[in-house]
Each structure stands twice: as C-alpha cells, then as structure tokens.
Amino acid sequence: MTLHVASVGMGRFGKRPEGLVDLAAEAANLALEGVGRKTVDLLVVGSMFAQGPHGKEALLPRLAGRLGLETASGFRVDSSSGTGAMAFHAAALALESGRFERALVIAAEKMTDRPTAEITRDLAASLHTTEAVAGATMPALAALVTQRYLERYAFPTDVLDAVAVHARAMAVENPNAHFQKAVTAEEVAASRPVALPLRLLHCSAISDGATALVLERGTGPATVLGLGQGFDALRLIDREELTSFAATRVAARRAYEKAHLTRKEVEVVELHDAFASFALIHTEDLGFCGPGEAPRWFESGWVTREGRLPINPSGGVIGRGHPVAASGLAEIGEVALQLRGEAGRHATAQRPKVGLAHAVSGIAAHNFVTILGAGGP
C-alpha cells in the first residue's frame, strides 16, 4: 500500500504562552485544514514530557475531543527526542495494515515553563540509569563524543562553529523557527561553555512547539518511499564506536533498501542536529560522505539551500528549536514541505524529488530514517 503526506501543520517553535494541548491543537488544525477537513480515522500523538497540568495524562482523548475526532482510533507513542518520527512510523504501519484510511499524526512538547535544571534532569532520564546517577546529561555525553570525534580526525573546534552558523542562517528564513537571528563563528566560539568542547550555540535549545501532518493512502509529491529504524546500546560505554552512531547506519540502510534508492538520489535532508557535532556524525552515518569528511561540507557551503545537498533548510534542531517530541515530526514535515513546494522562504533552490528525514532518540539509542519522494512504486 502506498502512503503520502497530504498536508503539514506547524506552529511557531520557541517560548510560547500556550499549554501542550493548545500547541498540539494549533498544529493539528493547520494540518486538517490542509486536507479540507477530510475524515481522519486514526490519531497518533507523541509527547515526552508535560505532567498533569499540561494534560499528558489522557493527552490522546483530550486531543481527540478538542479536534472532534472521537470516532477515530488512536495511539500515543514516546521515544524521547525521536518521538515525532516514531509517531509517523507507527501511523504508517497502522495505515499499511489496511484498517485505516487517513491518519493525523501530532507531536508536541511544552518545555519552557520549567527550570532548565529540571528539564535537563528529565531529558537525562532517557539515558541509562548508571549514566544518570553519575550526573550525566545529554550535553555531557555529547561533549564526550564530540571530544573523541575532534581528536580522531584532529579537527579544531571551528568545525562545530560552522555547523551552528549554518543552522542559524537557515532558521532566519523559517518563520516558525525559534531563532530568527543569524550568528557569526566568533559569536558561537565566544558563547558560554555548556560542556566543553560544546558551547551554548553548539547546542539545541529548550523550546515549546508542535507539528502535525496528515498521512493518507495514495501518492503525491511526498509519498512514503522507505522507513527504517535502528537501535544501539543504551549505555554509551557499551558502544563499539563513539564517533559514529550504529542506530543511524542501520536505520538508513533499511530505509534506503525499502525505497530502492541510494543516498545519491536524496536531494534534501533534515537531520537531528541536537548538538553541532552530531550534525557532522549524522551526515557521515547517512552515507552522504565518508568518516571525517562532513566538516568540509558545512564549511564549504555545500549544505545550504543552493548547495549540492541542502541539509536542514528549516534551521534544523539547533535553529528551529527543540521541543523534543515534536522535532522528529518537524524533520519529516519539513522534508514534505520541500517536496510539496510549500516551504516558502526556506525552500531549496531546486525543488527536490526525494528527501530524507532523520531523528534520534536519546543519545542515539533508537534512530529513525524516513525517505519521502515524488510518485509511487
């Protein structure tokens, strides 16, 4: 069965006054309007955080009621920062079963109303228990990985600065991005240390936001061509490699095989740059270049909207902001917008025919690759 993304709804990412249900409903209504409010018989919702006041408990029926979808069936999924991609994959699998016609997929997060230390602790809960009890956080483990990456290829930290500059430059053209101001390499290098070598502007921010899209039977410019997932050891110390993520490599291989495509046919990419160094590692793991070659791509401008392979034309996680559960779906949504010719100011110079979205759960313990493209099999 062939499926395609029929519409994408995305509100502004950033510090928002609304609660979780309102953010989710805003994106959902945009997506529903995009298909003329056609009947939806499946609702898949993803969220990682948001305790009682935000309605995490019973989030699904709250949203179903709010959106008038009580006749639909529904699921809620959670895979930390990969939640949005998992929601999309779950919806696709359910539609492929033949029991449903059209799914509304929503991923939303409310984060900015809580202290940073609390959010940091709750994000670290997706790490292995023995890492969390040592006080490890996502940026801490990312910093250790980054050190190994820089040391392995004898790169200066400038290579990280170039990624952050790219992300923020792309975000300026995305009206829904959290960050609307470009930064210079000097500003990145002078930003506050988070966990060296990672500085504040190398890291994704705490944001509120939601994305929704309608996935239905049929074909279109954003047809689902291939889905892939991959796991890796949850505990970083148990990984064979520290400068490459097996979960991405496995997910990509499976998605390329399913799509009967190679990386050479991919014309736009949204990857999960929660940290600047991760953008480099993901670019390599997705097969777009060899190990240690990604910095050249970012420093040479090959990844801009006019470049040979546009990467994160939305601004990515660093530029668009990182409402954790929503990011994975925003990545897929951005690729769909580019393929559908609906990306507006952040459209790539050439409208792409094939795009790839990549999402990461935790410290790359469960990653997702989604390939969309024109037409059908």
Partner 1 sequence: MPPLELVRCNACHHRFLPTDGPCPKCGSVDCTTYSAPPVGKVLAATELHYPAAGFHAPHPLLLVEVSDAVRVLAIADGSLPAPGALVEVRSEGDVYRARPEPTR
> Under the rule (CB under 8 A), what is the footprint of partner 1?
115-118, 120-121, 124, 128-137, 139-140, 143-145, 147-148, 151, 192-198, 233, 235-238, 242
Smallest distance, partner 1 to C-beta of residue 192, A:
7
Smallest distance, partner 1 to C-beta of residue 233, A:
5
Alpha helices in the chain (DSSP H): 20-34, 59-67, 83-96, 116-124, 129-132, 138-153, 158-171, 185-190, 246-259, 276-285, 294-299, 316-320, 324-340
Smallest distance, partner 1 to C-beta of residue 273, A:
19
Of 138 and 311, the one with the shorter C-beta distance to partner 1 is 138
> How far, in Å, are 33, 52, 113, 323, 375 from residue 58 at the CA level?
25, 9, 20, 20, 37
What is the C-alpha separation between 34 and 183, in angstroms, rounded? 34
List the Cα angle 177/228/342 in 5-degree steps: 35
Of 5 and 140, the one with the shorter C-beta distance to partner 1 is 140
**Structure-token pair, residue 48:** 């990682």
What single string gives the DSSP state of each residue in 45-98?
EE-S---GGGT-TTHHHHHHHHHT-TTSEEEEE-BTBTHHHHHHHHHHHHHHTT
Residue 254 is given by DSSP the state H
CB 66 within 8 A of CB 45: no
Of 173 and 232, the one with the shorter C-beta distance to partner 1 is 232
Of 256 and 278, the one with the shorter C-beta distance to partner 1 is 278
Of 118 and 293, the one with the shorter C-beta distance to partner 1 is 118
What is the C-alpha separation between 268 and 348, in angstroms, rounded? 8
Of 25 and 195, the one with the shorter C-beta distance to partner 1 is 195
CB 174 within 8 A of CB 252: no
Smallest distance, partner 1 to C-beta of residue 195, A:
4
Smallest distance, partner 1 to C-beta of residue 157, A:
13
**Structure-token pair, residue 77:** 């999924």
Smallest distance, partner 1 to C-beta of residue 204, A:
13
In this structure, are strands 220-231 and 268-270 parallel, antiparallel, or unpaired? unpaired
Smallest distance, partner 1 to C-beta of residue 196, A:
6
Of 135 and 290, the one with the shorter C-beta distance to partner 1 is 135
**Residue 176's closest CA among 6, 377, 14?**
14
Of 240 and 290, the one with the shorter C-beta distance to partner 1 is 240
What is the C-alpha separation between 208 and 376, in angstroms, rounded? 35
Smallest distance, partner 1 to C-beta of residue 249, A:
17
Helices 324-340 and 83-96 sit at what angle, rounded to 10 degrees?
60
Of 166 and 199, the one with the shorter C-beta distance to partner 1 is 199
Smallest distance, partner 1 to C-beta of residue 224, A:
31
Residue 133 is given by DSSP the state T
Of 97 and 238, the one with the shorter C-beta distance to partner 1 is 238
**Residue 225's closest CA among 196, 254, 186?**
254
Smallest distance, partner 1 to C-beta of residue 141, A:
8
